[in-house]
Amino acid sequence: MTRKPLNLALACAAAFASVTLAIGASDALAQAYPSRPVRVIVPNPPGGSADVLSRLLSTRLAQDLGQPIIIENRAGANGIVGTEAVVKSPADGYTLLLGSSSQYSVNPALYAKLPYDPLKSLALISQISEQPLIITVNPKVPANTLQDLVRLAKSQPGKLNYGGTGPAVTLPVEYFNAVAGIKVQEVPYRGGGPATAAALGGEIEILWATIVSIYPQVQAGKLRALAVTSERRASLAPDLPTVAEQGYPGYEATVWHAIAAPAGTPKPVIDRLNAEIHKLLTSPDVKELLGKQGVEAVPSTPAKLEERIRTEIVRWQKVAREANIKVE
């Protein structure tokens, strides 16, 4: 009769000791990480907003972590190549993904077969940034407002072309086609550079691009800006109205970036990275630096990032289905 309480006490003591050891090991892991350089894979070619974020990570975040951060651009297949490389890397916190909304929510909504699942193959760390797309036209196009462009498109069904640079542009354009009741045709290009050159040369009438990549051409008068696609006006172009303000309430489409690691990366490592990223992005000088580029600093919890990805996948799946867009 006396053995059972004793055995129970011993079992409880053993369980407590094991939890204490696990907590101690987690704390030690967080304090020891990182002990060598960290590789960050950017699944896009050099250029654009990812470069600004990469420089922040490789300088400021590296200082805070006490180890070098090596940026590796690994482009291909709308970011699938680089994302898959991260997914297949050891889950130790020494290979991270600096991906955009294309990899996290657009590709999963568009591709019938994808070699990764952003919610199962990755350990989400934090959103980093957000920026609007900007809708521009060649100055020869007789449209000074978004309403002008819609009227022009309705008068010439299927005649106006826009530069397609990947799903992150295609789906927002198709989304706008649906809400505005128009159809503009996609002319695919291998990237933002060739599409911009085509718009400047008059080969295409319309160009949708991130504000950071195209606004200098607007300021130089080489392209005419009609709208931004964010919920609020962009700090870089406060006089430029949103799509919603011009008669399409509820329309919103942005490009954002986030950091993730391979699934199975220890939680103390994720927590350490999340805390350091939050500290970096909430510092006034970093917020100002990004703001000058038209980019908003947006740190988040892993749970908040997961919620956003789930919501956007559903939205973009609906757009792709209604536009009959599917990539095998």
pLDDT digits (tens, 9 = 90+) for 10-43: 554 554 544 444 444 445 556 789 999 999 999 9
pTM over 0.95: no
Residues 97, 41 contacting (CB under 8 angstroms): yes
C-alpha span between 51 and 49 (Å, rounded): 5
Residues 268, 25 contacting (CB under 8 angstroms): no
Q: Is 186 exposed, middle or buried (0-12, 13-18, 19+ CB in 10 A)?
A: middle
Give residue 19's pLDDT.
43
Average pLDDT, the chain: 90
At 278, is the secondary structure helix, strand, or coil?
Answer: helix
Percent of the chain past pLDDT 70, that is, above it, reads 90
**Of the CATH numbers 3.90.1150.10, 3.50.50.60, 2.40.10.220, 3.40.190.10, which one belongs to the domain with range 132-246?**
3.40.190.10
Residue 1 is given by DSSP the state -
Structure-block tokens of residue 34: 């990182």
Q: Is 16 exposed, middle or buried (0-12, 13-18, 19+ CB in 10 A)?
A: exposed
Asked whether the predicted pLDDT for residue 305 surpasses 80, the reply is yes
CA 287 to chain centre: 17
Question: What is the chain's percent helix, strand, coil content, to nearest 5?
Answer: 45, 20, 35
- Name the residue among 96, 133, 72, 86 with its Cα closest to residue 256: 133
Per-domain residue ranges of the chain: 36-130+255-322, 132-246
Asked whether the predicted pLDDT for residue 238 surpasses 90, the reply is yes
The owner of tokens 């159809």 is: 183
- Comparing 17-26, 228-237, 263-272, the range with the smallest average pLDDT is 17-26
Residues 165, 192 contacting (CB under 8 angstroms): yes
Asked whether the predicted pLDDT for residue 148 surpasses 60, the reply is yes
The owner of tokens 């896009």 is: 44
Residue-wise pLDDT for 54-100, tens only, equals 888 889 999 999 999 999 999 889 899 999 999 999 999 999 999 99
pLDDT-based confidence at residue 279 (cuts at 50, 70, 90): very high
CATH superfamily of 36-130+255-322: Bordetella uptake gene, domain 1 (3.40.190.150)
Residues 170, 325 contacting (CB under 8 angstroms): yes
| CB contact set of 54 (below 8 Å; sequence gap of 6+) | 40, 42, 71, 98
- Name the residue among 67, 70, 63 with its Cα closest to residue 41: 70
223-260: b or e for each residue (b if 16 or more CB lie within 10 Å)? bbbbbbbbeebbebbeebbbbbebebeebbbbbbbbbb
Higher pLDDT, 302 or 11: 302
| CB contact set of 19 (below 8 Å; sequence gap of 6+) | none
